[in-house]
Amino acid sequence: MTHDITIPFYQYILEGGNGLTPKEDVLYATRQDALARFRSLGLPDLKTEAWRYTNIQRTLKEQPFILQQQPLPVTASQVAPAAIADLPCYRAVLVNGHLQPELSDLPEIKDITISKLSEASQQAGFKAHFDKHPHLADQPFAALNTALFADGLYIELKKNAILDKPLHIVHVYTLSQHAFLQPRHLFIVHPHASGAIIESSVGLHDGVVAFVNSVSEVILEENAELWHYNLQNTVQDSRHVTHTAILQQAYSRYHHHNFALPQANLIRNNLSVALKGSYTETDLHGLTLVTEQQHVDNHTFVDHLVPHCNSNELYKGVLLDNANSVFTGRIHVHQDAQKTNAFQQNNNLLLSEKANINSQPQLEIYADDVKCSHGFTVGQFSEESLFYLRSRGIGQEAAKTLLVNAFAFDITDQVHIPALQHYLTEEILRYVTRN
């Protein structure tokens, strides 16, 4: 499954992408189906409604990508910069999507399985949930991932299992030439189990470009709880298209915190939640702090299928330099989903003449006994706040930094791990003061 293919990716796509999946692969049929699906969906262009603000075809054509690369050797010291100070945690290190047990520190707790996805294909959880999420079916990049993924992480928290420390997943990308990488993950949290996951990445590919098309499926069974932190920083020369598809059963609680920070050139996050059981709670929090020529596109979808679910979404953006930010938040409340509470908010600070913001908060509601709202703002610091600080002897720059921090506070404050919260606050400060 890890052939080096030397034809450029785009050309390969056009030619139909045959011959990558060996017939003996257990997923051969699934992959062939996905490939057919991808071909019929086609690559999105600017006329595709969901991609109207992100020119993905241009990005794909910029470099001749090769498909999948064997991981190059990585040492512990190369992974070290990803560490979060003072954070007691387990660690799973993945190099180009392949789990490296010798670099990892995995929990040895009964009822908790953390393994390579390729080794999990006989697990009941894998059979029940792999590629089953309803929102992935019409996503071309998800189909492409299913068809051609190399490997990824499989995490299963069995019934009542508690992950006592957060699991830090470090994605390492190491390449010798421009490559298109496709990691694939599956996280299953069984009834009454709970845990926290922190994802971050390290780029070891000087001068070459990594295009990462990753898909994660997250299943929360009844009364399960998961904190999911996604830190998108420290990888230069990279483009990311991610799909995170969450399925929640009754009484489950899911907290997603996304931090899109400087470095990556292009980030497109597709975050979608299907609420299949009642009385669930869903928090989606995001902070986008972007500089230079960065383009970040957050595409979220909350699908309220059943009654009595609560979802809460707050995305904030700080845009510097020539940065570009896109936000699309869709809430769909089905006819049966009475007593839904769904709230969504997107606030943005434009701090540069050349920055760009596009936003599409969407409500689609077919039930009457619901409370739904969305809000959007874009603007500047209020002159009054700035004046207040300056009149108390705080310099212009320091005052601005303080205000950006205050703006981001709503998001960082929701981080429930103190060491991580401290780390993120410092990171934000670092980027803002540098500008």
Partner 1 sequence: MRNSNEIIDDIANKEYEFGFTTDIEMDIAPAGLNEEIIRFISAKKEEPEWLLEWRLKGYQAFKKMQLPSWQHFPMPAIDFQAVSYYAAPKKKKQLASLDEVDPELLATFEKLGIPLNEQKALSGVAVDAVFDSVSVATTFKGKLKEMGVIFCSFGEAVREHPDLVKKYLGSVVPHSDNIFAALNAAVFSDGSFVYIPKGVRCPMELSTYFRINAQNTGQFERTLIIADDNSYVSYLEGCTAPMRDENQLHAAVVELVALDHAEIKYSTVQNWYPGDKDGKGGIYNFVTKRGICKGNSSKISWTQVETGSAITWKYPSVILQGDDAQGEFYSVAVVRNKQIADTGTKIYHLGRNTRSRIISKGISAGQGDNTYRGLVQVGPRAHNARNFTQCDSLLIGNRCGAHTFPYIESRNKSATVEHEATTSKIGEDQIFYLNQRGIDTEKAVALIVNGYAKEVLNQLPMEFAVEAQKLLSITLEGSVG
**416 contacts: CB under 8 Å, gap ≥ 6:** 196, 227, 255
Pick from 218, 224, 98: which is nearest to 160 by CA? 224
In the complex with partner 1, the residue whose CB is nearer, 25 or 321, is 321
Span from 222-230, 254-262, 358-366, 412-420 in contact with partner 1 (CB under 8 A): 358-366
**33 contacts: CB under 8 Å, gap ≥ 6:** none
Contact 368, 333 (CB under 8 A): no
* Of the candidate residues 312, 338, 401, 414, the single one contacting partner 1 (CB under 8 A): 338
* Of the candidate residues 24, 206, 368, 383, the single one contacting partner 1 (CB under 8 A): 368
* Of the candidate residues 11, 377, 385, 433, the single one contacting partner 1 (CB under 8 A): 377
Nearest distance in Å: CB 404, partner 1: 14
Work out whether 351 is an interface residue with partner 1 (CB under 8 A): yes
In the complex with partner 1, the residue whose CB is nearer, 232 or 348, is 348
Span from 153-161, 195-203, 263-271, 351-359 in contact with partner 1 (CB under 8 A): 351-359
Pairwise CA distance, residues 237 & 143, whole Å: 24
Work out whether 206 is an interface residue with partner 1 (CB under 8 A): no
Work out whether 49 is an interface residue with partner 1 (CB under 8 A): yes
Work out whether 339 is an interface residue with partner 1 (CB under 8 A): no
Nearest distance in Å: CB 332, partner 1: 9
* Of the candidate residues 132, 158, 374, 422, the single one contacting partner 1 (CB under 8 A): 374
**392 contacts: CB under 8 Å, gap ≥ 6:** none
Pairwise CA distance, residues 354 & 130, whole Å: 43
Work out whether 355 is an interface residue with partner 1 (CB under 8 A): yes
Nearest distance in Å: CB 12, partner 1: 30
Work out whether 383 is an interface residue with partner 1 (CB under 8 A): no
> CB atoms < 10 A from the CB of 207, how many?
10
Contact 221, 125 (CB under 8 A): no
Contact 196, 162 (CB under 8 A): no
Work out whether 386 is an interface residue with partner 1 (CB under 8 A): no
Per the listing, tokens 């009385």 go with 279
Q: Which two tokens stand for residue 156?
A: 């299963």
Pairwise CA distance, residues 7 & 14, whole Å: 11
* Of the candidate residues 6, 70, 293, 380, the single one contacting partner 1 (CB under 8 A): 380
Work out whether 362 is an interface residue with partner 1 (CB under 8 A): yes
* Of the candidate residues 335, 385, 396, 433, the single one contacting partner 1 (CB under 8 A): 335
Pairwise CA distance, residues 217 & 219, whole Å: 7
- Length of the chain as a residue count: 435
Residue 12: phi, psi to the nearest 5? -60, -45
* Of the candidate residues 358, 401, 421, 435, the single one contacting partner 1 (CB under 8 A): 358
In the complex with partner 1, the residue whose CB is nearer, 57 or 356, is 356
H or E element at residue 349: strand 341-350
Nearest distance in Å: CB 63, partner 1: 28
Nearest distance in Å: CB 49, partner 1: 6
Pairwise CA distance, residues 313 & 282, whole Å: 8
Count of residues interacting with partner 1 (CB under 8 A): 34
Contact 106, 145 (CB under 8 A): no
* Of the candidate residues 292, 364, 397, 413, the single one contacting partner 1 (CB under 8 A): 364
Work out whether 310 is an interface residue with partner 1 (CB under 8 A): no
Work out whether 352 is an interface residue with partner 1 (CB under 8 A): yes
**47 contacts: CB under 8 Å, gap ≥ 6:** none
Nearest distance in Å: CB 343, partner 1: 10
* Of the candidate residues 350, 408, 411, 420, the single one contacting partner 1 (CB under 8 A): 350
Nearest distance in Å: CB 434, partner 1: 19
Work out whether 108 is an interface residue with partner 1 (CB under 8 A): no
In the complex with partner 1, the residue whose CB is nearer, 263 or 359, is 359
Pick from 391, 376, 253, 369: which is nearest to 325 by CA? 376
Residue 208: phi, psi to the nearest 5? -120, 160
Sign of CA dihedral 119, 120, 123, 128: negative
Footprint on this chain of partner 1 (rule: CB under 8 A) = 49, 335, 338, 348, 350-353, 355-380
